[in-house]
Structure 1
């Protein structure tokens, strides 16, 4: 018995002190991938790598019953201003611990042991799934192809996040 596809309302947030709509390749890739998969792009923004700016946008989307998935790109490394994990982790009702582990496992084939410096993470808050990815376009493609596409597809078995969101 096959399930029917359920389109989600998804928001994309790029965290960067330097990117603009013109230069934001990672955010554009994620927005395009979500829509190509059949989901709706609810909103897309770029914010500075600042805990409070990140938290303000993500909190607004978590509180919006129309937004079911949030994907962030950028700010997950160890550079001085990288603060995405610190911004979003306190907002989680539950952390998806396996997401970061799986992302780093998949990434090792592409970037070797440099994957240890990725602080990619995910969690659930108010029936919204939140994924925080590195800022590189390659990392976003890796996460989409290796994890997000299936986990945001209601037909994916044996389980997916959609059944927790709708």
Structure 2
């Protein structure tokens, strides 16, 4: 029986020590998260936003409004998730500012899509107008050819008539 008591006490002591070690690790991890959250100050948010605006300008120049807004929104979403996973409070000022930029880019995406749809409609309208103009030009060209042929036929008839009467076409 003493052997069993000794074994239970030894297991209890090992479990107690493991539990205390786990508490120390948890405290250490909690402090690391708090330190990271404190380290992510407003100036870092400002730097991130500034870098995203520069990237957005580059994408805007190459690919246009819609692509720039979509890329920026994706970057903000990724950064917000990363910060929250690393212990930054979702209600912190930094996250709120990033969310505001994310929302603004969402509005820009909607505006760009609306503009793109309007442009597509305008291009389709211009295409229809171009086809109509081409049809009119073809009809005009056909009428000119028919008129030229009719004038040539009239000239031939005048020449034949003048020849029969013994005159030149100019005299007739």
Give the TM-score taking structure 2 as reference length. Answer: 0.22
Give the TM-score taking structure 1 as reference length. Answer: 0.23
Q: Which has the higher helix share?
A: 2
